[in-house]
Amino acid sequence: MESSVLRRRALAACTATVAVGALALAGLTGSASADPASQFRTPTATGAEQLSPGLLKAMRRDLGLAADEARSRIGHEARAAAVAAGLKRSLGADFAGARVSGDDAALTVATTDASDAARIREAGARPVVVEHSQAELDSAKAALDHVALRRAPEGVPVWYVDVAANRVVVQAARASAADGFLAEAGVARDVVTVRQFAERPRTFTDLRGGDAYYMNGSGRCSIGFPVKRGSQSGFVSAGHCGTPGVSTSGYNQQAQGSFQGSTFPGRDYSWVATNTGWTPRALVNGYGNGDVTVTGSTEALEGASICRSGSTTGWHCGTVQQRNTSVTYQEGTVSGVTRTNVCAEPGDSGGSFISGSQAQGVTSGGSGNCSQGGTTYFQPVNPALQAYGLTLVTNGTPTDPPTDPPTEPGGTWAAGTTYAAGDVVTYGSDSYRCLQPHQAQPGWTPPNVPALWQHV
C-alpha cells in the first residue's frame, strides 16, 4: 500500500512542537476586525511568500501559475475562506454553500433568501439565490450515506453535494442503479442530479517497496501529517493502510510504531503512534525542492487550489471540486471525503493534501492516472484529529492538549468550529476575539492559545 511519504527529513531530525500559536493561515494576521469585508479586501500577510519551491513548481506545471501568481492566489483563497466562514454563521439556515473561482479567488456565496444578497455583497462576495440550503443538501446526502454504510450500492460509486449546481450529484453506471439507491434512502429526485459514470474508483495501494512506511514488514503506505496526543508522537494516514495493532517500520525498515486507531470503510483515516526514535516535524516532503511547512488545518473552499505529495508521482496540483463526497470502493463506501481533479496513482495512498500551508487531508483513492489525468478523493484531516483526540504538528508552539481533555467550563467556543478573524466567543465567564482564522481543535481553548484569541 504505497503512497505519498514524508521522507527522512519529515520523519526523523530535529525536535518540533505541536503548533497553533503561529498559525498564520494564509490570511489574516495582526489586528482583529469584526468586518469580514475588510479582511477580504485587505492584502494582509498570508504566509504565501513561504511556499516551498516544489509546491510552486507543481502549481506552475498543473495550474499554469507563475510563482507570484501562485502566492497571490493562495492569499486570496485564504481571505475568501475567512469571509465565507463568517457569512455561513450570519446567514444561518439560509446558507447554501460558498465557492471561489479564478486566480483572484472571486468568492460566491449562495443563499435561499434574496434579502441576504446585500449582506453578502457588503462582505465582498457575489450572492447567488438558490432553491436548496446547504443543510437540506447535506441531509439528503446523509440519507444516502446511511444506506451505503449498511450495504455498498451496486453500480453507484460516487455521490456528493455540488455547491455550484445546488444539487446532490449521484454518479452511477446505470440510471436504474441510481433510482434504486435513491428510493431505498428516501431521497427526493428534485434535489438530485444523476450522471453516468463508468469508472471504478480504487484505493491507491500496492505491495511495492519504497521510501515510506511499512505495515508488518510488507505492505507500504505514506505518512499524511505528523501529530501528537499528549506527549505521544505519531502520524495520521489512510484507514485502509492498517488496523489497530499492526506494527509499522519506517522508510529505512527500522521499527517505528503501531496503528492505534483505524476506520475503513465508512471513513478512511488512521493514526499510528511512533517510538522515541522518530521525531515529528511540521513538514510535507518536497521531493528535493524544499519541504513544505504546515501551519494549520483550515479547510480550503470548493474551487480553491490544492496540491498533493505522493511517493509514486511526487507533487501534483489541481482544485477542490466538492467536499462531503461519498465514494464506493471494492472494500465498501467511504463518506465525507473531498473530491479533487488532482491525479494520483497506486502508491500515493495516505499521502498529504495541502493548500498553501494548510493541511487538508490524506489521500484515499480515485480513478485515472497522472499520464492522462484523473480524480482523487482525500479524507479531510480535521475529522481524523477529532476522532482520535490528536493535535496536528505545526510550526508554532502552543500547549499540547491533554489526552483526555477536561470538561469545558461553558460558553460559545466549541472545538470543530471554523472561526474567522474578528469573531467573538465566550469561554467560561470571559470573552475572546479571534485574531487568526482557524478550525478549532480539542485543547485549543482561547486561554491556551493567545496567538489565536485575544481576551476582551
- Annotated catalytic residue 349: yes
- Annotated catalytic residue 455: no
State the residue for C-alpha cell 474578528. Answer: 422
Measured over the CA atoms of residue 38, residue 40, residue 41 and residue 43, the dihedral's sign is: positive
In the beta sheet, which residues pair with residue 293?
A: 283
Asked if 151 and 311 count as a contact pair (C-beta separation under 8 A), the reply is no
The rounded distance, in Å, linking the Cα atoms of 307 and 230 is: 29
Residues 105-108: contacts with CB under 8 Å, at least 24 apart: 105/73, 105/76, 105/77, 105/79, 105/80, 105/303, 105/304, 106/80, 107/40, 107/80, 107/83, 107/301
What's the gap between Cα 99 and its chain centre?
15
Asked if 25 and 436 count as a contact pair (C-beta separation under 8 A), the reply is yes
CA distances from 375 to 34, 77, 189, 352 (A): 38, 22, 26, 16
DSSP 8-state code for residue 271 = E
C-alpha cell at 271: 493514526
Which listed residue (62, 116, 162, 268) is catalytic?
268
Residues 62-71: contacts with CB under 8 Å, at least 24 apart: 62/316, 62/317, 62/318, 62/342, 63/305, 63/317, 63/318, 63/319, 65/103, 65/305, 69/103, 70/305, 71/46
Which listed residue (52, 349, 355, 367) is catalytic?
349
Which listed residue (240, 309, 355, 423) is catalytic?
240
Q: Cα angle vertex 249, ends 309, 375, to 5°?
A: 25
Omega into 405 within 30° of 0, i.e. cis? no
C-alpha cell at 443: 485543547
State the catalytic residues: 240, 268, 349
